[in-house]
Amino acid sequence: MKVLGIAPYPGLKKLMLELGDQEPSIDLFVEVGDLEEGLERARQASKEGYDLIISRGGTARLIRESVSLPVIDIPISGYDMLRVLTLIRDYRGEAAIVGFPNIVEGAITIRDLLGLNIQSHTLQHSGEVQDLLFRLQEKGVQVVIGDVITVRAAEETGLNGILITSGKEAVLEAFRQAKQTYRVVRDHTRRSRLFRTVLEEDDRGILVADGEGEAQYANPRIRKWLGLETDSPEVVASTLFRREPRLRGAEGQQLVRLPGGPLLAVDIRVKDSIKIWVLRETTLSSDAGMDIRYRKLARFARITGHSRKIREAVKKGRKISRTVSPVWILGEAGTGKETFAQAIHSESGISGPFITLDFNRIDPKEAPSLLFGEKDRAGVLEAGKEGSVYFRNADRFPADLQKRLFRKWKSGKDLPRLMFSSTLPPGKEEGVFYFDPATSILSLPPLKERMEDLEDLCRLFLAELNTKYGKQIVGLEPALLREFREISWPGNIAQLQSVLESLVRRLEGPYLPLREGKEEWERSRSQVRNVAEDNGWLDGTLEEIEQRIIRQVLKEEGNNQTRAAKRLGINRTTLWRKLNR
């Protein structure tokens, strides 16, 4: 144990060193200095690896206030009092004891025991001492007995000061206390080292801030992610918040990607005004098929169109956003399914991210760990639990996984809002695109059923494209608008948008002309077909594709073979034969 002694008077240094020699467990170094001078010495020495400080009286008190090491006080013992009062007992002049309560109380007891006639005065703070001594001097007091502060003031006032010096017993008592305190501190340090090791070994990144919001601890894992291995916790925190201002915020879960780092699920917790950020790697190491957005999400107000069909869809969408039930958004390619999903998310006032998982691009084998996580890694459902998950091309969502998902949803687990979309209707019975009956269905009309909206949509898109490309296009030539109303739009709004985009990018004039418009539309048809291929609708042999179509029509006709056969333009026997091939 390395101990620093600050002795307010030289004799105490000598005594401490003498007694310290007999204490093998104490490695003692002593400096002389009273009050401010002593504090200065203690300040310097506290940087030199001492375990604790031993000092006395007012000096000890000063040090304790401004140095973080434990400070042991050498108490004024009864023996010390006895010695000094014995010394003064036969003094014939007027004497007084002056000091803080700890000195005066003990002195009174011994004075009374000895039957001495010495007055006593208690100081509450050091500022009072001068005035008091002046008054005592006026009353004829010649000698004052007390601690360093009293004696120093006495000298300045012109009185005789007698210092109550510390004896052997008091110094030994201080050593005993020092040893005991050291044991407690050492145990404490050991225990905090233990906790520190646990935090340092954790696979999660951990950042802790105190009640004032000042970062106090950052573990190695979070430092590694941020590339700040040796910086202070404050620097770690400010770097993290600069990169992800959202993390400053309230309690809850956030999903963030640090530049060049892994995707992290961040839990922000507050306990006893201590704020803790727990960062966990997610299973989402690759971005294929996934998109996370917090901002610039569509709202219902943005959904253009006055047709009855689209207004009804908006009304239903708004209604769904007031519930928590999962929603299946059904519609042809490019009809605005994701736009509606985002609008539902925005309208529900959800704080978390809008996460898109595209089942056309996600490997079904990886889907379980992606959704449900692994041992130490959070999956999308946990990491995004305060947001929404939008399953695009959900008809490709493996049925067993869907069942697992709905089991979890029904057990009331904390899950994100669930939204599915597909161009094909979900089946009511188990099958390729099984879906749970708890789901609300929102059907979006194809563009051909809401042609009255075409002009408004063109206007909106042209305005956006003018801004994007710095053009001043004011509309479509009337002939092109007529043409656009007549032709088919298998890619719906998305197709219209991309046709307009290609035209705006290329052309300058105020109106988009008929010829270029039609050419562009022709070109876009082949792209739409590619989208269909993308959906897997055209995978496999002709026979397989035919099977898919027949089963789809049958499903849409509620398994009524007569109606399905009629719709396909074949007779019932042919249908039956084809189905049982």
Ligand X SMILES: Nc1ncnc2c1ncn2[C@@H]1O[C@H](COP(=O)(O)OP(=O)(O)OP(=O)(O)O)[C@@H](O)[C@H]1O
Shortest approach of ligand X to residue 298 CB, angstroms? Answer: 6
Tokens of 247: 């993390």
Among 148, 266, 362, 493, binds ligand X (CB under 6 A): 493
Nearer to ligand X, 97 or 341 (CB): 341
Q: Which of residues 43-62 bind ligand X (CB under 6 A)?
A: none
Geometric angle at alpha carbon 329, from 323 and 333, rounded to 5°: 160
| C-alpha 84, offset from chain centre | 63
Using CB atoms, what's the residue nearest to ligand X?
336
Q: Which of residues 383-402 bind ligand X (CB under 6 A)?
A: 392
Nearer to ligand X, 351 or 497 (CB): 497
The answer to whether the beta carbons of residues 413 and 372 sit under 8 Å apart is: no
Nearer to ligand X, 215 or 292 (CB): 292
For the residues of 127-183, what is the DSSP string, one character each? GGHHHHHHHHHHTT--EEEESHHHHHHHHHHT-EEEE----HHHHHHHHHHHHHHHH
The answer to whether the beta carbons of residues 386 and 326 sit under 8 Å apart is: no
Shortest approach of ligand X to residue 462 CB, angstroms? Answer: 12
| C-alpha 66, offset from chain centre | 34
Nearer to ligand X, 57 or 305 (CB): 305
Shortest approach of ligand X to residue 313 CB, angstroms? Answer: 9
Compose the 168-207 pattern: x for residues touching ligand X by CB under 6 A, - for all others. ----------------------------------------
Beta strands in 374-422 (DSSP E): 388-392, 417-422
- The yes or no reply on residue 283 touching ligand X (CB under 6 A) is no
Shortest approach of ligand X to residue 499 CB, angstroms? Answer: 12
Nearer to ligand X, 305 or 326 (CB): 305
Rounded distance between C-alpha atoms, residue 88 and residue 83, angstroms? 9
Tokens of 421: 């979309």
- The yes or no reply on residue 333 touching ligand X (CB under 6 A) is yes
Among 283, 321, 339, 356, binds ligand X (CB under 6 A): 339
Nearer to ligand X, 326 or 334 (CB): 334
Nearer to ligand X, 204 or 392 (CB): 392
- The yes or no reply on residue 336 touching ligand X (CB under 6 A) is yes
The answer to whether the beta carbons of residues 356 and 416 sit under 8 Å apart is: no
Shortest approach of ligand X to residue 458 CB, angstroms? Answer: 11
Nearer to ligand X, 355 or 575 (CB): 355
- The yes or no reply on residue 334 touching ligand X (CB under 6 A) is yes
Which residues, at least 6 apart from 342, have a Cβ–Cβ distance to it below 8 Å? 297, 298, 299, 354, 390
Geometric angle at alpha carbon 450, from 444 and 452, rounded to 5°: 150
Nearer to ligand X, 246 or 459 (CB): 459
Q: What is the CA radius of gyration of the chain?
A: 42
The answer to whether the beta carbons of residues 329 and 421 sit under 8 Å apart is: yes
Q: Which one of the spans 73-81, 331-339, 481-489, 540-548 is the region binding ligand X (CB under 6 A)?
A: 331-339
- The yes or no reply on residue 445 touching ligand X (CB under 6 A) is no
User: Partners of 330 in the beta sheet?
Assistant: 422, 443
CA dihedral 336, 521, 550, 439 (to 10 degrees): 0
The answer to whether the beta carbons of residues 522 and 380 sit under 8 Å apart is: no
Three-state DSSP at 290 gives strand
Shortest approach of ligand X to residue 483 CB, angstroms? Answer: 20
For the residues of 550-571, what is the DSSP string, one character each? HHHHHHHTTT-HHHHHHHHTS-
Q: Which one of the spans 185-193, 326-334, 472-480, 521-529 is the region binding ligand X (CB under 6 A)?
A: 326-334
The answer to whether the beta carbons of residues 297 and 365 sit under 8 Å apart is: no
Shortest approach of ligand X to residue 305 CB, angstroms? Answer: 5
- The yes or no reply on residue 335 touching ligand X (CB under 6 A) is yes
Nearer to ligand X, 185 or 314 (CB): 314
- The yes or no reply on residue 497 touching ligand X (CB under 6 A) is yes
Nearer to ligand X, 219 or 335 (CB): 335
Q: Which one of the spans 98-106, 198-206, 332-340, 424-432 is the region binding ligand X (CB under 6 A)?
A: 332-340
- The yes or no reply on residue 331 touching ligand X (CB under 6 A) is yes
Q: Which of residues 294-313 bind ligand X (CB under 6 A)?
A: 303-305
Hey, how many other C-beta atoms are within 10 angstroms of the C-beta on 297? 18
By CB under 6 A, name the binding residues for ligand X: 303-305, 331, 333-339, 392, 421, 423, 460, 493-494, 497
